[in-house]
Structure formats: C-alpha cells, structure tokens
Structure 1
C-alpha cells in the first residue's frame, strides 16, 4: 500500500512539474502563476456551492428516514476535490474539475456503494434502516437510570 501511494504521489508531482514548465514556457511565469491562482479560487467557490447543495440533499434524505450513503460518499469526494483544486498545478485541477461534475461524482459514489459492504460491527453498532426512519440496533437492556452526587474527599 505504501509503495503504491509513493508511486502515485511521485508520478503526479513529476507530471505537475512537467506541465507547469511547459505551460510556463508558452505563457510565461507570471501568467502561469496567475492561472494557477485563478483556478484555485474558482474551484474553491464551486466546491463550496456544490457542498451546500449536497448538504441540502443529505438533510432531505435524513428527513425522509432514508440512509444518505451516496451523499456521504459524494461529500468525501467533494473534500478531495477541494484539495485537488487548491493544490497548485494543472493536472490536479483537471482531476478536481472532473470530480466537480455531479454525474461523474454520482457514478463513482454508486460504484463505491455497490462494492463496499457496511456492517454494524465495523460501524460501531450504528443504526439500522426501517420504514419509520432510523432506530438504534443494539439497545443495552441493562441500563439503570438514577441520580448521583459527587462528594469530594478533600473536605
């Protein structure tokens, strides 16, 4: 796993440097830097607006009592998109702009949901879905309610 991540980050970094040098050779240094800054600003604004839309969708699903799995995965993808767009470079900006497309993001999220199994053991007990909404699946029947009073030993 470490080796794959190392290769990925090294390859992306080298590709970014190559593209920045080529674009800088054509446009010049200042226009290239300005273009990188503008893409980061525009990308950040787009991520913010789509994030707000996604939060609204998530709240609607929760209000209906439905599991918002796809919206949660798309939210994580939007965070990754924001990181890609703020990272200086044109290759990461291109990847970020692709993930900003709702159709592409939805397709990837559906693929992830179809290939990943969630269980209550890995989710810490979690919640189970019912027609009436969410209800806790592991209720502890040994709970004793009561009151307590703290007495300091220093007195």
Structure 2
C-alpha cells in the first residue's frame, strides 16, 4: 500500500503545482484564483445535489424492500468526489467532477463492483466477521 500511496502523494501535488503555474502564466493569477473559487462553489453545490438525490433513492429502495447497492456505490463515489473537490487543484477538481456526474461515474462504479466481487470470490471481503 505504501508503494502506491507514496507516488500519489508526491506526483499529484507536483502536477497540481505545475498546472497552477501554467494557468497563472496563461490566464493570469486573478483568473486562476477565481477558477479555484468557482470550482469549489460549483463542486459543493453538485455534491450536495447528487448526494441528496442518492440518499433519497437509497431510502426509496429500502422502503420497497430492495438492497440499495448502486445507491451505496453512488454515495461512495460522491463522497470521494466531494473530498477531491475540497483539495485545491485542477487535476483533483477534474477527478472530483467526474465522480459527481452520473454518466462519468458509471465506469468507476463498474470497476468498484468488479473489485468487490473479486475480493468476495477470493474470501478477502465479507460482510460478517468470521470467527
């Protein structure tokens, strides 16, 4: 896990700094700062909107006796997307927005489902703790 996280914590901030410098040179510092604020405000609005809709969908599914599997995955994606939008930077904002828009979220949900099923088959992921 350390081998995965260390490059992420080094490479992502490096890319963000480079993008900030390039944006500052290309559109100017005030416009770059305005973009940061705009994406933050827009991201907070979208995260709240999508999160509320997902919560209502999960509630409807539970009331009708269904398991809200997709709604739970949507909620996880929205949570991660919102956290990425709180992180200043253009790359993290792009990734965060892609997790907030349902059509762009579908491939991530498909990947998550495949990973969960793979872990369940191998016995590494289970719902009730084994003794």
Instruction: Return the TM-score normalized by structure 2.
Output: 0.85
Paired with 2:62 and 2:106, the residues of 1 have a C-alpha distance of: 18
- Distance in 1 between residues matched to 2:116 and 2:126, nearest whole Å: 12
Q: How many residues align?
A: 124
Describe the superposition over 1:23-43 as per-residue Cα deviations: whole angstroms up to 9, x where unpaired: 001122222112101111111
> Which structure features the higher share of helix residues?
2
How large is the Cα RMSD of the aligned pairs? 1.8
Gaps of 5+ in 2: none
Unaligned segments of structure 1, at least 5 residues: 126-155
The aligned residue for residue 75 of structure 2 is 75
Aligned mates of 2:54, 2:64 — CA distance in 1? 15
Pair member with larger Rg: 1
Higher strand fraction (1 or 2) = 1
Instruction: Tell me the equivalent position of 2:110.
Output: 110
Partner of 1:145: none
1:67 to partner: Cα distance = 1.2
